[in-house]
Amino acid sequence: MSAFHRETVLTVKHWTDTLFSFTATRDASFRFQNGQFAMIGLEVDGKPLLRAYSMASANHEEGLEFFSIKVPNGPLTSRLQKIKEGDIILVGRKAVGTLINDNLIPGKRLLLLSTGTGLAPFASLIKDPEIYDKYDHVVLVHGCRQVSELAYGEQLVDTLTKDELFGELMKDKFIYYPTVTREPFRNRGRITDLITSEQLFNDIGLPPLNIEGDRIMMCGSPHMLEDLKVLFEARGFTEGSTSTPGHFVIEKAFVER
Ligand code: A2P
């Protein structure tokens, strides 16, 4: 049996010169937990060319969705960015990843911290009704260099908060905090600085970071992840895993180099 499902591309949307998202069919046997990733890609010269991609769709949805960067000369993304409706993509049969609520000690506030395409696993998780059941607040922070890079997240949040089911679940619980570092915007600055200065918490009108209630998932720029890990560990937070739940979990965004 092949290690991959062959799925058909349904839609492709280009958000900026460097970002696009696409949807595809989903084999009924492909199971995953919201927040996980799988190897996906294309068949090139008869061989699979694959990279890790977080599912941006939730596991209760019929199709699959992915949010991708376009890396100039990137072996996969230079090809993947040209896919069209009807093309075939390969999707690995096994989904894995650490951004799983069971890897966290129960808490009151869930902070989802992302940069760039690191938003993808949280696009899936915020469509998981369970997190609104488990937390009093779910705060989605998305940091980008430019305002245009926020568009995918902005549209996702807009659609979800207007949805009949999710709108009700998210009301009074969900907070979206986009932030931009290299041009004017209503929220400015790096996620690390916004946490240490407490600006993030002041802006959203909630108490500052506290280890009793805060649980954190992070995905994005490797430098940001390193800095956030240091920041949280200095405050006594521990990293969680499947064997030992903790206060935070980390997944790097899988950018092609
Ligand atoms: P900045 O513009 O100040 O570098 P990138 O495109 O390089 O992956 O960055 C995505 C976002 O992550 C940018 O807003 C960038 O801010 C921010 N970023 C990069 N490195 C760090 C870091 N070490 N800590 C916090 N934010 C970071």
Question: 217 CA to middle of ligand 1, Å?
Answer: 17
Backbone φ and ψ for 95, nearest 5 degrees, come out as -105, 140
Residue 20 has what pLDDT? 98
Task: At 32, list the tokens.
Answer: 């995953």
C-beta of 171 in contact with ligand 1 (< 6 A): no
Position in ligand 1 atom list of the atom nearest CA 193: 25
For the stretch 77-110, pLDDT in tens is 999 999 999 999 999 999 999 999 999 999 999 9
Residue type, 221: S
Tell me what pLDDT residue 255 has.
64
> Does pTM top 0.95 for this prediction?
yes
- Considering only CA atoms, which residue is closest to atom 3 of ligand 1? 181
Q: Are strands 137-144 and 174-180 parallel, antiparallel or unpaired?
A: parallel
Using a 6 Å cutoff on CB, does residue 223 contact ligand 1?
yes
Q: Is the CB of 191 within 6 Å of ligand 1?
A: yes
Nearest CA to ligand 1 atom 21: 224
Rounded Cα–Cα distance for residues 15 and 17 (Å): 7
Average pLDDT of adjacent 10-residue blocks, the chain of 257 residues: 90 97 97 97 94 97 97 93 98 96 97 97 97 98 98 98 95 97 98 98 97 98 96 98 96 71
Distances (CA, A) of 162 to 61, 110, 165, 174, 235: 17, 21, 9, 13, 37
Looking at residue 2, its pLDDT comes to 83
Q: Is the CB of 144 under 6 A from ligand 1?
A: yes
